[in-house]
Amino acid sequence: MSSLTRQPPKRSVCLQPLWLRITHWLNALAVLIMVMSGWRIYNASPIFDFAFPDNITLGGWLGGALQWHFAGMWLFALNGVAYLLLNLITGRFGRRMFPVSARGMVRDAWLALTARLSHADLSHYNQLQRAAYLFAVVDLILLVLSGLVIWKSVQFPLLRELLGGYDMARRIHFYCMAAIVCFVSVHLLMVVLVPRSLLVMLLGRSTLRSVNKETTS
């Protein structure tokens, strides 16, 4: 008699926990609201010699844009705090974002430019990704701080002075907005180049195969 060997069920590994996916998409929504409403607010009192087209702004008028901006601000603040705390408590921040070195970034940049940078293991961030995500965290924090000076300049005099005054805070806020828009643009480009990464952020894994799918013989 011969016995049939039954192979263990194949399981797709969860690469991104549910809490991370939820906070990620809420952060994305909050940033989108703040950027588009911020463009409408900027148009009401521009600091440079250009304005954003009305059809890519949010709010319809200054008062409406301010309401959208504050709504996005509270969503981002509460969700952002939860995102950072959960990353720190679970140890994920340290595991995924470090170490980062200049040599490692140069190496990975060269591999990317020569189309040799591997994306096979989506549970691992290369050093360019780590540097980009750390930059985004710092940029968003500075965006919030400069926004506080613009919103409540009298209530935050020390912060206002540290940022170089009210007018400089407006410029810093604008530059940080431009930086996060560039970050999101590159992020979306990488999703196009590595579409499996979108599945990871939607489903927690890089395939559509059910977690509990078993093979039968």
C-alpha span between 69 and 143 (Å, rounded) = 13
C-alpha span between 154 and 134 (Å, rounded) = 31
Percent of the chain with pLDDT over 90: 65
Runs of H (alpha helix) within the chain: 18-44, 62-90, 92-97, 102-113, 127-151, 157-162, 166-193, 196-203
Q: What is the mean pLDDT of residues 113-120?
A: 81
Q: Which long-range contacts (CB under 8 A, 24 or more apart) does 17-21 make?
A: 17/90, 17/204, 18/204, 19/86, 20/83, 20/86, 20/87, 20/92, 21/201, 21/202, 21/204
Q: What is the mean pLDDT of residues 118-145?
A: 88
For the cut 80, the answer to whether the pLDDT of residue 178 exceeds it is yes
Task: Provide the 3-class DSSP secondary structure of residue 80.
Answer: helix
Output 56 or 209, whichever has higher pLDDT. Answer: 56
Block residue for tokens 């087209």: 53
Q: What is the pTM of this model?
A: 0.84
Report the pLDDT value the prediction gives residue 4, as an integer from 0 to 100. 47
For the cut 60, the answer to whether the pLDDT of residue 28 exceeds it is yes
C-alpha span between 158 and 148 (Å, rounded) = 12
Nearest to 148 by CA among 70, 63, 56, 68: 70
C-alpha span between 60 and 131 (Å, rounded) = 36
Nearest to 190 by CA among 198, 180, 178, 200: 198
Q: What is the mean pLDDT of residues 148-169?
A: 95
C-alpha span between 13 and 81 (Å, rounded) = 27
Per-residue tokens: 196: 């499996």
